[in-house]
Structure 1
Amino acid sequence: MENYNQTSTDFILLGLFPPSKIGLFFFILFVLIFLMALFGNLSLMFLIFLDTHLHTSMYFLLSQLSIIDLNHISAIVPKMVSNFLFGNKSISLIGCGAQSFFFLTLGGAKALLLTSMAYDRYIAICFPLHYSISMNKSVCVLMVIGSWIMGFVNSCSHTTYAFHIPYCQSRAINHFFCDVPAMLTLACMDTWVYEYTEFMSTILFLVFPFIGIACSYGRVVLAVNHMHSAEGRKKVYSTCSTHLTVVSFYVPLFYTYLHPRSLRSPTKDKVLAVFYTILTPILNPIIYSLRNREVMGALRKVIQRICTEKM
């Protein structure tokens, strides 16, 4: 086994893929997923920006989700690709801190933004007459700003703590990015303070939002049962299913951050991290576009416009 003990301040990311044919296969697969996620989220943002029919609160929040997903996956995958291709697994202290900071900021903002999106659909379906007032532009902007600020504050506290504690001689992080809990296994001190902070942050940013989303969709389902229009019920169920699917973002995070550290496995943590760092960003544009008539209509308009200009 390689010896990663060193005296420099750099960390070593052990990575996700083994140096084998199967590792190369998964590496190529993940690169393709990364490129598809970039294309999907950029396309969705582009369509929402161009089509005035999509200038509503729902699509404004959706565009913010695409921005977060785009940056989330870009903060992790390029370094992972570079490490695999060039065999240089080291990452500087500043680089590790920046990666951890952006990961936590974007993750926290996304968790709260998904709650805002669920609230938007709840108001639209259960209180349609109040929707234009309850979800006006100012409210949406405040929701987005609040999500970013809370994610930023949470990230600052975790990152500052992680980079102000002493680390032992081994600086090999058994992960494919600088995840703070994985880093703290190398600490030369008791990290119970951080574990308590991590638990409280998980409750605030994951458990409470998840409960709120579950309650809102429960209320929506009850409202659907009282609808007399089959077309209206079909539309509502379609809307709910697309939003509810994204809640899978929370499940691997629950297991990772609520699981006692003594019972956690680095292999399981890495596999679960694939879901909320790499797979979710590609699922969101697929779920919110291919199953959405308005987005598909906007796409057809753009394609027709391009074809007309070429002719």
Structure 2
Amino acid sequence: MAYRYRSPLTRADVTPKHMYVNRRQLMAGSTAMLGAGLIGGRAAAQEALEPNSLEEITTYNNFYEFGTGKTDPASYAHMLTTEPWSIEIDGMVDNPGTWSMADVMEGMTVEERIYRLRCVEAWSMVVPWNGFELADLLTRVGVQEGARYVAFETLMRPEEMPGQQRAILDWPYREGLRLDEAMHPLTLLATGLYGDPLPNQNGAPIRLVVPWKYGFKSIKSIVRISLVEEMPEATWNMQNPREYGFYSNVNPNVDHPRWSQATERRIGGGLFSGREPTLMFNGYEDEVASLYEGMDLSVYY
């Protein structure tokens, strides 16, 4: 029997396009905008946030396949060919195979959601993504009983991704989620931002967005999705398990070994802008805390 996560959240709980397009008007009103995660009324008590500019979102990135500098992806990602593109879907699924982007997108309802992307280096930005729930795709391919995790893999093409020509990481980049995390309605496969196709430096043509986790969990330029029984390899966890746990949930109470995670700096706030407190689960505590009930999050970090 296929597994399907059930949640009280619906698509109506996530900010639609017309709300962020008219965000200044909304912020001025008594129902003001929705908070750090910007999810319906559930985050209304949090400070309203406005999405970062397109320039900020597309010029300050972590995408080591193009280099370790924050501006390297914007400088070199034009080399990446994204058409045609296919994704291998395999493992414990009823309908394995190689799926073109047209196959993946067929029948999917593309929504627009404003999520805060928070990186482990303690900086954040707010991004209006276009995409669809990962759960919709997994349900379509048919998750088999016994599958407990979803594994992801990034494209390996060093002739177009110059960072892969160096042994910075164990290429290709890999990530994974527990199945209930993957099926959660907040977990997105993004195909665009600000209503346009996803730029190469942001993970074109399709990437994962898991808004309550640190940004490196949201793997870019996906070419393989596998349903598996055992916890899959995750690149940064393999690289340095002391610093990067498999779960990588945003938790201000667990410091990175080399810096505090208690505060963050908003990209675009200016050189002298103050830091702000990091919110548990990046502001999505009401929505996702139940996934980790009974777990010691200082051990399973």
> What's the TM-score once normalised by structure 2's chain length?
0.25
Q: Which has the higher contact order (CA 8 A, sep 6+)?
A: 1
Kindly name which structure, 1 or 2, has the bigger radius of gyration based on alpha carbons: 1
Higher helix share: 1
> What's the TM-score once normalised by structure 1's chain length?
0.24
